[in-house]
Each structure stands twice: as structure tokens, then as C-alpha cells.
Amino acid sequence: MTEPRWLDDEEQRAWRGFLRCYAEVRANLQRQLQRDTDLSHADYEVLVALSEAEEGRMRAFQLSDAIQWEKSRLSHQIDRMAKRGLVARQQCPTDARGAFIVITDEGRRAIEAAAPLHVEEVRRVFFDHLDRRQVAALADACHTVLDGIAALEGSPGRTGESG
């Protein structure tokens, strides 16, 4: 590599917009959750994934894969949520190493109470500003990036790998 390929104006605009947009949206969602519920965004993510899973439970590794968290982060988070009665740990019958994380009744109540308010806020800060065309374009761009990253990781062709 010689000259770095700096971002041009349009790319800067896209890049900074993307980062800032995420930050703004997330800050608003966090405030809403804090104001209206007892859940953090982390709690919310975990409970959504579990509530959508069959029997309200997943293996820890599946859950950490679904929400893309490190194992240790998830484990700490589950500790805290278990203390608050939102989830529980179960032994896995077929693999003694394995742990199921299961949503409790209280966890269900919490997510069912929170979800309508949360989705309203998602609309207020995000979708209410976008028309269908923009939504489609955004989904397209994001999923294109995700697919691209997945492909990179499939064949990690970083320059100078075996050096």
C-alpha cells in the first residue's frame, strides 16, 4: 500500500452519517427504555431473542450467536438477569457441558410490556422519518454489507495473511 485511499466527500457523508445515526437512534431508545421500563437495551435484546425461540429457551452459544455477543458478555448478563428473575439457567440433557437459557414468566411479562412502547419509539426516531423507498434502500445497503462481511470471514483474504 502506498497512498491511503481516503474517503471522498460522499463517502464521508455516508460514513459519518451512518455512525452518527446509529448513535442518535440508540441514545433515544436507551432513554425510552430507561424512562418507561426496567430493562436496558441489553436486557431487551436477550429477552426478544429468547421470547422468539421455541419453548422460550436457547443454548447459550445459540443465543450469543443470535445477538452476536461474546460468550463472557452473555454469561455476565445472564447472571444479572437471573438475579432479577427475568431468565433462568437449565441443564442440557443431551450435552452436560451445555446450558439452556430460558425466559421466565416474569421475563415474558417484562418484554411484553416493553415491546409496544419500544416499537413506538423505534418508529418515532427512525421509521417515521423515512419513506418506503428509503427503508428498502437502507435494508438493501445494510444486508449487502452484512453479506460482504460474511463472505470475507468465509475466506479472510486479508492482505499479507501468511506473513
Instruction: Identify which range of 56-64, 82-90, 97-105, 147-155 contacts a copy of itself by CB under 8 A.
Output: 147-155
Candidates 42, 99, 102, 138: give the one binding a copy of itself (CB under 8 A).
Answer: 138
3-state secondary structure of 11: helix
Query: What is the smallest separation between the CB atom of 133 and DNA, expressed in angstroms?
Result: 33
24 binds a copy of itself (CB under 8 A): yes
Is residue 11 within 8 A of residue 22, CB to CB? The reply is no
71 binds a copy of itself (CB under 8 A): no
CA neighbours closer than 13 Å in the CB half-sphere of residue 82: 12
**Cβ closer to DNA: 78 or 125?**
78
Size of the site for a copy of itself (CB under 8 A): 53
124 binds DNA (CB under 7 A): no
Is residue 76 within 8 A of residue 60, CB to CB? The reply is no
Provide the edge-to-edge strand list for the sheet that holds 87-91. Answer: 57-59, 99-103, 87-91
Q: Pick what 132 binds: a copy of itself, DNA, none; C-beta below 5 to 8 Å, kind-dependent.
A: a copy of itself
Element (H, E) at 48: helix 41-52
Q: Going by C-beta distance under 8 Å and a sequence separation of 6 or more, which residues neighbour residue 111? A: 39, 44, 47, 48, 51, 103
> What is the DSSP-derived secondary structure letter of residue 102?
E
Contacts with a copy of itself, residue ranges (CB under 8 A): 1, 4-7, 10-11, 13-15, 17-18, 20-25, 27-28, 68, 115-116, 119-120, 122-130, 132, 134-149, 152, 158
